[in-house]
Amino acid sequence: MTTVPAAPARAAGMPSAADLLPLVERVPALAAPCRHHREEAAIELAVEEWALRSFPELYPARLQAARFGEMASRAFPETKAPEVILFGQWLVWLFVFDDLRDDGPLGWDEAAVDRLYDAVLSSCDTVPPLDAHPVVRAFRDLWSRTAPRAGASWRAMFRVHLAEHRAACRYEARFRSTRRLPSPNEYAHLRRQANGSFLFDLPEPVLGSELPGELRTSGPWRDLLSACNDVTAWCNDVASAAKESARGDVHNYVLVLAHDQGVSLAAAAAEVLDRIAARIDDLTAAARALPAEFARLDLSKAAARDASKVAMVLLGAPRGHLEWLLESSRYA
């Protein structure tokens, strides 16, 4: 019998992480529990210490209770602890930046978002001043420890995905400031970029695997990354619907569908679950297409083995993320 963690209680009538539970029985790919890193406690502690040091005023108790180190532990149960810690720190950076935009005036000011992200991107090439925004300084720290672990092709793709995230942050600010709701199709595309596509590039340097550039840009590999991205983003939307609804933020798939179709939040959440299940099928299909792609590209055994390691992390991400959503108090 499959066991899953208990979910936090939800507000009456609002979707919550508990609504994701039927997926465990419904989708075979989500049935098996994740393994945890044997050094999970130390990983969690190291991630939290870095977060508190990097964001002394931007890391409230709500984020401290989110347990990002445990999410990293599930993603990389067999990887050396320093690399798992690095991934956990990247998770912290993304969530701190998201909360900075979601919970304050920054997220409503397109120009301010653009200026901050310009400083973030500039820090890839130059050390920011000591008085730079904490988000910029923390990014520089992470980038300086991650980029040397990867090749030029990876660094180029990572920057492309950073630019997409920047554009999505700007669009979200524009939608908020003009109080316009995106259509479901607009939202799905925007959500994938706002979810941090660059995060799904990180298994390569964390694992010490370098994908050939032609594989990274191939159809099956892009399908794998986009499906994994969509599944985790949409699961997050079900869990966070109450939070976003309470603060009047429309950037949530459940809320967008409910408005577009004129249905209840419960009905919209049920449709999001259907779409999540379909995207997990897409994720599995993309993974099954990889051996043929390896052969087409005439990859060496070593390259195919490295790519398979990364693919396994992406295949396991939805279950790990689901468990984290059910255990974490972030959306309680």
pLDDT of residue 110: 95
**pLDDT at residue 319 greater than cutoff 50:** yes
pLDDT of residue 14: 84
pLDDT of residue 292: 98
8 Å CB contact between 243 and 8: no
Compute the distance between CA of residue 218 and CA of residue 239 in angstroms, rounded to an integer.
32
Q: What is the DSSP code (8-state) at residue 15?
A: -
Mean pLDDT of the 273-297 span = 97
Percentage, residues of the chain above pLDDT 70: 96
pLDDT of residue 19: 95
Buried b / exposed e over 255-282, threshold 16 CB at 10 Å, is bbbbeeeeeebeebbbbbbebbbebbeb
pLDDT of residue 7: 39
Buried b / exposed e over 196-223, threshold 16 CB at 10 Å, is bbbbbbbbbbbbebbbbeebbebebbeb
Question: What does the pLDDT look like over 179-211, one tens digit per residue?
Answer: 888 899 999 999 999 999 999 999 999 999 999
pLDDT of residue 331: 78
Confidence band (pLDDT; 50, 70, 90) for 274?
A: very high
Question: What does the pLDDT look like over 50-90, one tens digit per residue?
Answer: 999 999 999 988 888 999 999 999 999 999 999 999 999 99
Pick from 137, 211, 319: nearest CA to 327 = 319
The first and second tokens of residue 292, run together, are 């043929």
8 Å CB contact between 173 and 232: no
Question: What does the pLDDT look like over 227-241, one tens digit per residue?
Answer: 999 999 999 999 999
8 Å CB contact between 162 and 135: no
Those residues whose C-beta lies under 8 Å from the C-beta of residue 76, and which sit 6 or more positions away, are 37, 83, 84, 87, 203, 206, 207, 313
pLDDT of residue 103: 84
pLDDT of residue 1: 33
CATH code: domain 17-327 is 1.10.600.10
Q: What value does the mean pLDDT of the chain take? A: 93
8 Å CB contact between 234 and 192: no
In whole angstroms, what separates CA 81 from the centre of its chain?
20
pLDDT of residue 176: 87
pLDDT of residue 16: 92
Compute the distance between CA of residue 70 and CA of residue 182 in angstroms, rounded to an integer.
33
pLDDT of residue 253: 96
Helix 301-327 vs helix 219-246: crossing angle, to nearest 10: 10
Exposed / middle / buried, residue 224 (Cβ in 10 Å: 0-12, 13-18, 19+): buried
The first and second tokens of residue 216, run together, are 């990274």
79 Rama sector, left if φ>0, alpha if ψ -120 to 50, beta otherwise: beta
Every domain of the chain and the residues it spans: 17-327
Compute the distance between CA of residue 277 and CA of residue 231 in angstroms, rounded to an integer.
8
Pick from 133, 110, 99: nearest CA to 249 = 99
Confidence band (pLDDT; 50, 70, 90) for 13?
A: low
Mean pLDDT of the 158-165 span = 96
Alpha helices by DSSP H, 81-125 = 81-102, 110-122
Percentage, residues of the chain above pLDDT 90: 85
pLDDT of residue 26: 94
Measured CA angle at 191 (ends 188, 195), to 5 deg = 145
Encoded amino acid at 161, one letter: H
**pLDDT at residue 104 greater than cutoff 90:** no
pTM, to two decimals: 0.94
**pLDDT at residue 222 greater than cutoff 60:** yes
Q: Is the dihedral of CA 228, 234, 239, 243 positive or negative?
A: positive
Confidence band (pLDDT; 50, 70, 90) for 307?
A: very high
pLDDT of residue 249: 82
